[in-house]
Structure formats: C-alpha cells, structure tokens
Amino acid sequence: MANQELLEVRAKAQEWLSETYDEQTRKEVQALLDNEDTSELVDSFYRSLEFGTGGLRGIMGVGTNRMNIYTVGAATQGLCNYLKMNFADLPQISVAIGHDCRNNSRLFSESSAKIFAANGIKAYLFEDLRPTPELSFAIRELACQSGIILTASHNPKEYNGYKAYWDDGSQIVGPHDVNIVNEVAKIKPEDIKFDGPDDLIEALGEEMDNKFLSEVKKVSISPDIVEKHKDIKIIYTPIHGTGVKLIPAALHAFGFTNIINIPEQDVVSGEFPTVVSPNPEEEAAMEMAMKKAAEVDADVVMASDPDADRIGVVVKNDKGKYIIINGNQTALLFIYYIVTKMKEAGTLKGNEFIVKTIVTTELIAKIAKKNNIEYFDVYTGFKFIAEIIRELEGKKKYIGGGEESFGFMPADFVRDKDAVSSCALMAEITAWAIDQGKTLYELLQDIYLEYGYSKEKMKYVVRKGKSGAEEIQQIMTKFRNDPPKHLGGSPMEWVKDYSTLIAKNLLTGAETKIDQKITSNVLQFFTHDGTKISVRPSGTEPKIKFYFEVAGILNSRKEFDREEEKAEAKIEAIMEELGL
C-alpha cells in the first residue's frame, strides 16, 4: 500500500480513539495502530463497510470495514431515519428483529432494538435465535413496516451480517434500497441513538412460533402419503444454527415420526465446533450426517445453514452411496412435485407462476413451458422473487421459486428462502417417491428423462482485501471487453450483459434488450449447443462466481452415469479454456 493511502488509513483509525467509542474498542484500535504489521489495520479501515442493497456482511472486529456495534448502529440509525420519513403519517412505526447463532448476533440485535426504541419505533425482538423465514413471517403477521435479522448465512465463523426487510416481509428492493443506503451513508457515530426505552421493545417467542408452524403445515400437498409413510428415516442437522428451533417441529407437524438428529450439531454455537464452514453445500459440513445415514440406511438427509433459510439435501444413489444433490436439483424436485401434484388434482387454473434466478437451471423453465405455467427469471436474491410476487399479488398464484444456492420458497406467507417449509416438503417428496417404489435419486433421474438432462457446477475464485476486489473487477472487465468466441467445442451464440441490459447474438450481430428493471454486474454466455455460463462477483463475499450448465438428453436411467461423465468432462474443458 502506498504511503499516502497508509496515512489515510491511520487517520481514520485515529478517529476511533475519541470518546465517541467505548473503551474496549479504543484499546483494540490502538493495538492495531501499534502493530508493525499494518495488514490488519489496513483491512479494518481502508474502506467503510457498505450498507448495500442487501444490507451488511463482513468480518467482526473494530474498524470501519468490520461488523461491530458502530457499523451496525449506523445501519440501524439510517434505517430509522428513512422509516420515519417514509411512514411519517403512522402513529406508531414498528419493526421485527431476529438473529441467528453467530457470535455477537444477540448483542447486535439488542443494540439495534435499543436504537429503534430511541427513535420512537416499536421493536419486536425475538427472545432467542430464530430462522430467517420466521422473521419474514413475523413482519407480515405483526403488520410491521420493516425488520432486520443479524446473520451471515453460511459464511465462516468470523463473519456476521445484517439484512433489512420491508413491510411485505421481503428484503428491501428499489427504490427503498438505494434510499436507505443513502441515509445510512450520512450517519456519523455521534448521530447514533444507542439508548432507547425498554417499553418500546416487546419480546416474541412461542406464540409467534406456533402461528408460523401453523402456516408451514399448510404447505403439505399429500398428507395421505405422509400418513402412509410417516416412519421413513429422516436425518436432519441444523449445523449448530437456528433450524434446531423449528425444523424438527415442522417435520412432526407434517406427521413424520422418525426424525434422527446429530446431537453434536444440535449444539447452538457461533464457533461451529464440528465444521470449518457451516455450509450445507459442502460435503465437509454434511459429513457427520452422511455417516449417520449410512449407519441407519436413511431415506433422506437434510440440513439447514445457520439462519435456516438454505436447505441441503443428501440422497442415496444407485450404488448405495450418499451424495449431496446440488441446489438446482433440489429446486427441480420441488417444482416437479408441486406441478405434478397440481396436475393430478386438477388445480392448475392457468394463472399460476414460478420464479427462478437467472443462474438457476433452465430445466425449471422447461417444466413451466411444457405445463403452460408462466415463469420469471430474476437476479440472484430472493428479494427479486418476492418482488415479482408483490407485483402479481391478487392477480396470479405463486406456486414455487428457487435459486441454485440451495434456496427454495414453497409458499408466499414467507417472502424469503425458507428451509423450515422446504425441509418438511422435501420429506413429503421422499415419501411420495417411496410410495411409487422409487428413491429420491431415481425420481430426479425421471425428471431428466421427461424434461431433458442437465448438469450444473459452480466454481468460485476467492480474492480477499482491497487488491482482491480490484482483481475481481479486472476479471469482469476482461470478459466484458473480450468474450470467448467458442466454449466446449461450440460457437458462442449469445452474450448477455446485465450491466447494460443488452443481449448480443455473436453469430448474427443482432442485439435485444434484456427484460430487467435494473442493471447488475453479471455476464452470461450461451453457446450454440445449449451450454450456459454465468459470471458474477458475489455481493456478500470476496469471490467471483462462475456458474456452468451443460444440457443433454437422457434416454434411460442406465445411461445416466455416462451422461454425467460426458457433462463433467465438458465443464472441466470449459473451465480450462477460461483459465480456471
């Protein structure tokens, strides 16, 4: 780092030695300033942790680029200011507050409740950790104007985060998102009102849990099949997170009786003692549950991430091995089941719709088209799925929506990813498969037989710190200015640039407008043979993500392994071509 930049960092750090900050914070900042190794000092202060359109997420610690009571406090104070402007006519503005199992999550949530109260805003604060979908539900149930949850989802233990919601229970979208970002940017430490009255803070607990579970139970489509197979062997792990509170209860509410837990992972802890990363997408996080599955010959294994919005699913393949299915496959199983059961019951009326994100498998679009169901492609993030639901409220019927990153929302009483409802419904799908003499693995193969084969894979490149952020931007610029002409042996046909909302056909030169309301730093490449590659920087982590989808045809279950091998080889070849 240049001397001038280091001087600027030191000057910012010196400001944190003032009486505005508490004694412990001042001590920790002084230690950073005294350390000859300036790397931690620089990372803590080289920028301000931005309250973006998805809220905050970062490493915990002192500094402008860290999650602490001052960065969280500024976010809450800015949100308070915006709520008071936006709902000035209401006699009482109210918010709901939740948190997960992470270190400092309770501290941050209680601090936020005090700030809301100090600004005259009533705060409904959950008495203990609760799943993110219940927070979304509570906002709607209590007719709140906003809500927040303290969570960093499936990030490693050093992270925490802050997500903000609007009055429909959805994470905030435009124009409110940008407006709130602007308000938060104005906040100085001395502007934060930390000490609000307790009489404007109300605890939420079992009563809200019961209301939420009552709605979850309505997600069940085939209670008769559940009753018939209620004793199937279900393994569930919360991976130390909030799912332990309600997911077993949801499974019991559906009627399932044989839920096998992993006691070591039922321990609520922000240290995540049995895993390196509490991410159900990663085999290491699922290892204990998969080992237990092999011991008891489980029918399905399910996991939720720390805030219980993502669902991980493990199935037994035709060789008797337990494997994690990816988020695209999970979403496929949900959509296929919902659509099939509605067709059987004759309840498809022609006004239903499905929503998926642009990086999620195109097979969902095929299912929708084949069954004359409207579908929408939106940006990554369930707030965009919720936005479509809000626009179509009272006009059309939402029947499901998901994204490849292990998120699904089977009903709209929640307006965010919902692992509580999803785990219960996936158990029901398992029972449905068994009722037909199939495993979940065979059911997935049957979807490929009916709608076409697809293999998806995601690879990410991590680049931390200031230099990493710059490198990620350089990668995007290179792909934008010089897109590949061929990939996987097939000519490039379409390039979609969501930063300009222009799709260009490289074979004909034709250009079309992409139907999205706002721009986003995402590129997509479509080859002539149906391969799709999406590239985007993560909005919450120091990563650039590459999503691959290879299309094919499956003629019989016997050919499945061969198709998998061909697709895997093709994806590996494309990765090599891209220098990954």
The answer to whether the CB of 135 falls within 8 A of the CB of 414 is no
SS (H, E, C) 76-142: HHHHHHHHHHHCCCCCCCEEEEEECCCCCHHHHHHHHHHHHHHCCCEEEEECCCCCHHHHHHHHHHC
The one-character DSSP state at 259 is E
Q: How far is Cα 142 from Cα 124, in angstroms, rounded to an integer?
A: 9
- The helix (run of H) or strand (run of E) holding residue 237 is strand 234-237
Comparing CA positions, the residue from 242, 46, 295 lying closest to residue 129 is 242
The answer to whether the CB of 256 falls within 8 A of the CB of 234 is yes
Reply yes or no on whether 153 is catalytic.
yes
- The helix (run of H) or strand (run of E) holding residue 347 is none
The answer to whether the CB of 66 falls within 8 A of the CB of 160 is no
Peptide bond into 156 cis (omega under 30): no
- Helix (H/G/I), strand (E/B), else coil: 28: helix
The residue count for the chain = 580
Kindly name the residue from 153, 304, 454, 520 that is annotated as catalytic: 153
Beta partners for residue 97, in sequence order:
125, 148
* Amino acid of residue 53: T
- The secondary structure of 186-223 as a DSSP string is T--GGG------GGGEEEE-HHHHHHHHHHHHTT-S-H
The answer to whether the CB of 256 falls within 8 A of the CB of 226 is yes
The answer to whether the CB of 527 falls within 8 A of the CB of 490 is yes
Q: How far is Cα 226 from Cα 223, in angstroms, rounded to an integer?
A: 5
Q: Token pair 């019927």 is at which residue?
A: 397
Q: What are phi and psi for residue 244, nearest 5 degrees? A: -60, -25
Catalytic positions:
153
